[in-house]
A and B are shown apart, each in its own frame.
Chain A
Amino acid sequence: MAAKKTSIPHHVMVIDTNRCVGCWSCAIACKQVNNEPLGYFWNRVLTTAPNQSTTAKAPASNNMDVPWGTYPDCELAYLPVACQQCNDAPCVKVCPVQATFRRDDGTVLIDYNRCIGCRYCMAACPYGVRIFNWGDSNYAPGGVVGYGKEYSTEDRLVFTPERPKGVVEKCTFCVERIDVGELPFCVEACPLGARIFGDLNDPDSQVSKLVNNGGGEQLHPELGTDPNVYYLPVARRVPGES
């Protein structure tokens, strides 16, 4: 059991869509902590319907916050989407230079010093969560916000407050925070507690319970990418909850 405690955690995020009200606080918090420039969103809140399969039918409207259906039978739900941190990640498989890699805790990261900017990972990602630095980005006026330092893990530069032109960037699960025991910033920022973060290797953790018995579902499970982000559907049967 002592060995268990020192073993590498398996980081997982669970998002309770029943609690999400579509306020975009997580997206804004993400922009803040990672100093994301104008027009960049590592984290987005998509408008869906409750229990809507992600591929079943066309969206109700091209605009956000528009409910599905005809009045009075309207329904509305939200799907916050950032990098799904797949265990079998297509982006890791296609990267020609191993710039995108998966750490043993399940986090998929990008080495900003190695990326050649071929954007094959963007073509391979089913979730559309990868952002490319097309040109000189419009960073926030008045200097860097958020974490503000470079962060390296396994000798690879996985976070820098201003990403160089011509590399791909994306959600890092706030690797610089989780490595020192803090929560990802979107989890901290969610005003409704819809985001839960933890260690799947620990059977007593809240995420383990939600993933194993709580009805946690992955996005596009049919693709076999095995994401480390789970969603709790709006309508669900959970043992112990009625």
Chain B
Amino acid sequence: MATTTAAIPVRATRSYRPIWAWYAALVVLMAWGLAAWIDELRYGLAATGMRDVVSWGMYIFTFAFFIGLSAGGLIMASSAEVFGIKALKPLSRLGVLSAAACVAVAALMIIPDLGQPFRVGNIFIHPNWTSPLIWDILIITVYFVFSIVDLYVLQRHAAEPSRWKTVARVMAYVGLPTAILLHSVTAWIFGLQIARSWWNTSLMAPLFVVSAVLSGTALVTLLALCAQRFGKVELSQETRKWLRGFIVISLFVDLFFVGADYITVLWGNVPADRSALNLVLPGGPWAWLFWIEWIVGGVIPLAFLLVPRLKKMPGALGLAAFLVIVGVYAFRIELVVLGFVNPLTQFPPGNAVGTYNVQTSSFQLIGRYHPTWVELGIVIGLVALFAALITIGYRALHVMEPSPAAGHRHARMPAETKASS
């Protein structure tokens, strides 16, 4: 009894004071991002670490990463309905919310990457339908609108299950192919380019879809665990089991695809492909990406998800989900940057980089890239925006309240039930 009464004031401070500190921190980070963008507008993209050899950098690989993250939620919400996985239904609305937030942030990530951001309207005035970029903008828009509508439908479905059942079902069946299309089209931005042998593989679209499922599920897992920690919900063992299963299977498929690509390049030994792969294999200058991808984001999470003794540790699922996301981010860096680092036409002195410094050559044969503080600032600001969108959405929509489909104690805090009874 004493513990219950003590718990109530603690609860109250927990849910009010820290949330304002959290919002304040996010606002500071977003302001930092905005300041960085203003700086970039003043000096042009010279403020970034990109130059003529590596001409896409942090914005693009973070864009691809956020597009991937947006998958998990929608695919999970749709799978719960399409394949009748009851244990995942309580996560449906949280999943769709994260999908909408991720895709919005991904779209915003493109704006600071443009050299002429105020001409962005040209995309709608003079669209070139042979460009994968136009199709990607189209599918991103469709996906964002769909997520918002789906969120509304699920919200109504939670309130009046019998009336909105059919609509929710239809949305689930439409959502699954839409999500797969989004990732495929984003993959084709890279995969269709004959100039970059590192990108030019038909494996690109399947690889994007599976790594999207992987990182997206891991993100929803992390968000659900955060909701459990700070909100009034609890994940059932059944839900955890399904999340773990989704992550394990998609991680295996992801590593299998990447490995299959490595084998093809290694066995074929075509110089242009090999010189790109050598950069990332152990011993190459970008080998740290290999280790993050295969060990930090591969072997360690698998151990925490599969080894019985590690699996039972508290926080094992959360840690594994976090490491998986780190691994997928490393993969995005590897994909985008290495395509540029190793250009197809590679004779000395190489490409002019567009700047002149007294100490260094104006040419680069092998590309170099380090993000600057401006790029980091903008990306961190947008990540803060994502966190803010999720927090506001979570609190405003009560996306984790008990849903009728959940037969478990999914969404009810035990302490509260005890207090009321």
Does any Cβ of B come within 8 Å of A196's Cβ? no
Report yes or no: A46 in contact with B348, Cβ–Cβ below 8 A.
yes
Residues of B close to A178: CB separation below 8 A: none
Does any Cβ of B come within 8 Å of A223's Cβ? yes
Does any Cβ of A come within 8 Å of B272's Cβ? yes
Residues of B close to A39: CB separation below 8 A: 352-356, 362
5 nearest A-B residue pairs (beta carbon): A117-B115, A135-B46, A166-B115, A46-B347, A126-B195
Q: Mark A105-123, 1 if CB is under 8 A from B, else 0.
A: 0000000001111111011
Distance of A51 from chain B, by nearest CB (Å): 14
A126, B194: Cα distance in complex, Å: 7
A167, B117: Cα distance in complex, Å: 11
Residues of A close to B193: CB separation below 8 A: 90, 94, 123-124
Segment touching A, from B15-23, B101-109, B124-132: B124-132
Does any Cβ of A come within 8 Å of B408's Cβ? no
Does any Cβ of B come within 8 Å of A177's Cβ? no
Report yes or no: A63 in contact with B348, Cβ–Cβ below 8 A.
yes
Report yes or no: A117 in contact with B114, Cβ–Cβ below 8 A.
yes
Given contacts A39-B355, A119-B115, contact A133 B137 (CB under 8 A): no
Total chain B interface residues with beta-carbon distance under 8 A: 61
Does any Cβ of A come within 8 Å of B346's Cβ? yes
Distance of A29 from chain B, by nearest CB (Å): 16
Partner among B56, B122, B195, B354 whose Cβ is within 8 Å of the Cβ of A125: B195
Known contacts A54-B345, A96-B131, A135-B44; 18 additional CB pairs below 8 A are A39-B355, A44-B351, A58-B346, A62-B350, A90-B194, A90-B195, A99-B126, A119-B56, A119-B113, A120-B131, A123-B55, A126-B345, A127-B345, A128-B343, A134-B51, A138-B356, A168-B115, A223-B195
Report yes or no: B131 in contact with A95, Cβ–Cβ below 8 A.
yes
Residues on B lying within 8 angstroms of A by beta carbon are 43-48, 50-53, 55-56, 110, 113-117, 119-120, 122-123, 125-128, 130-134, 137, 189, 193-196, 270-272, 275, 339-340, 343-356, 362-363, 365-366
Does any Cβ of B come within 8 Å of A103's Cβ? no
Report yes or no: B355 in contact with A134, Cβ–Cβ below 8 A.
yes
Report yes or no: A97 in contact with B126, Cβ–Cβ below 8 A.
yes
Given contacts A93-B130, A97-B126, contact A136 B348 (CB under 8 A): no
Given contacts A119-B115, A132-B52, contact A38 B356 (CB under 8 A): yes
Report yes or no: A59 in contact with B52, Cβ–Cβ below 8 A.
no
A204, B110: Cα distance in complex, Å: 50
Partner among A64, A96, A114 whose Cβ is within 8 Å of the Cβ of B348: A64
Report yes or no: A128 in contact with B115, Cβ–Cβ below 8 A.
no
Residues of B close to A122: CB separation below 8 A: 52, 55
Given contacts A97-B128, A126-B345, contact A114 B352 (CB under 8 A): no
Does any Cβ of B come within 8 Å of A6's Cβ? no
Tell me the nearest residue of chain B to A120, going by C-beta. B133
Distance of A190 from chain B, by nearest CB (Å): 19
A-B contact pairs, 19 of them (CB 8 A): A38-B355, A40-B352, A55-B270, A64-B348, A81-B345, A90-B193, A93-B130, A96-B137, A97-B119, A97-B123, A116-B116, A119-B55, A119-B56, A123-B55, A132-B52, A132-B115, A138-B356, A166-B114, A167-B116
